[in-house]
Amino acid sequence: MSARPNAAATTAETAASDACCTAPLPVLGRDVTVPLVTGGEVTYAALDYAASAPALQRVWDDVAAYAPYYGSVHRGAGYLSQLSTDLFEQSRVTVAEFLDCREGDQVVFTRSTTDSLNLLAQVVPADCQVFVFETEHHASLLPWRDAQVTYLNAPRTPAQAVETLERALADRDPYGPALVCVTGASNVTGELWPVRELAAAAHAHGARIVLDAAQLAPHHPVSVRELDVDWVAFSGHKLYAPFGSGVLAGRADWLQDAEPYLAGGGASRTVARRADGGVDVQWHTTAARHEAGSPNVIGVYSIASACKALTEAGFDTLVARERHLIDTVRAGLAEVPQVRVLSLFGDDAPRVGVISFVVDGWNSSHFAAALSAEYGIGVRDGLFCAHPLVRTLLGSDAQDPGECGAPEPAAPGERSLNAIRVSFGAGTPDEHVERFVGAVKELVRDGAQWKYRTEDGRCVPDRG
């Protein structure tokens, strides 16, 4: 008698099959062609989403439709100003819904994830201790200049991350206010971090937690409620809305109690001269407190448009399709013995479409330059603004050079002190990742077809 098929396995197989047939979301620039150094042109394969994702066509269309109606926000009685103000504030509601914020949470619009975390760094209590893993992007690692910071060593499993944090929080002295800053998905390895468990550990020890969702929000749903994080930060330019805005969303109390991030119009409710010649200022207690100056309404609206587009597309569908792309890339790289994929948590760790690797016998800058010049593929090389993490993964010392350049291949077996990162998302067609895998195999097997040299620290084709 034949066994009944496992329902979960059947569902997974169906989802994988459907993912192969699901079209990518339309993005701006999808038909752009670029010249090859070897002759001819090819459609550009944008595989650097982790740095900046292309604008969704839907976002571009929404921005273009609104642009003729642009007006000053919160500043005018005219129709366009009122329309723009409504659009701006409704965008705040849309982002709060996208993040599943709690009642009373504030959504503050900033310039980027970096700006958001620097804002939070300015509002933490004076005696607050900050805990951050060395694995973080510099946007999370560096803003805490006025706080006592504890840098935690890179964990090798999600469970070890939770244990490391619990031990550090329990041992803190004095046992006062504390903030944990953690990524949702690594910008180097793409691996998902145990955010919910880390939030529970933080709260169990009287600490708060901020989630850097720059690499998570474009790929997976982010629920402030379910993850139980106190704040979340992300950038529009990674969320298919590259128009110069970001978000900090979460608890209002520290934001309300602190001095404004920037002082100026919009942050102030009233300003009056005093008898002694000075001025008295009443600051807003809403998100406007930290949004001084004329806001980037187009950037804010583009984020709201992207939030709606991703929600309507359905994250279940987007995640399934991206998993198919991840599997394609990882399977292809696994067939090349000279390639070593960088990982903290191991091959089976869940991840987003961000994969970093090194190639034996190649400087990573040389390899990335050849992918671009000879195949029309855009990837990134270097240390990815996560120097401590990449150095840990490469096994290098802090003093070892990690600059780009050095076009001559390294000696056989010599390790490269920078890495190559390929990243993709909702707008990536199958052909782009298939071309990438084929190019990697061809470069490793046959070498580059062109000569390269170092120029201003970058490896570039030698056209002389």
CA distance 401 to 417: 7
State the Cα–Cα distance between residues 60 and 56, nearest whole angstrom: 6
DSSP reduced 3-state for 182: strand
- Within 8 A by CB and 6+ apart from 262, the residues are 290, 292, 293
Residue among 51, 70, 367 at smallest CA distance from 235: 51
Cβ-count burial 322-349 (b if 16+ within 10 Å, e if not)? bbbbbebbeebbeebebbbbbbbbeeeb
d(CA 117, CA 121): 6
- Distance (Å, whole) CA 299 – CA 110: 10
- For the annotated catalytic residues, the residue numbers are 385
Q: CA 26 to CA 5: how far, in whole Å?
A: 36
Say if residues 245 and 237 touch (Cβ distance below 8 Å): no
**Nearest CA-CA partner of 30 in 308, 424, 440, 312:** 424
Which residue, 442, 438, 462, 439, is CA-closest to 452? 462
CA atoms within 13 A on the CB side of 182: 31
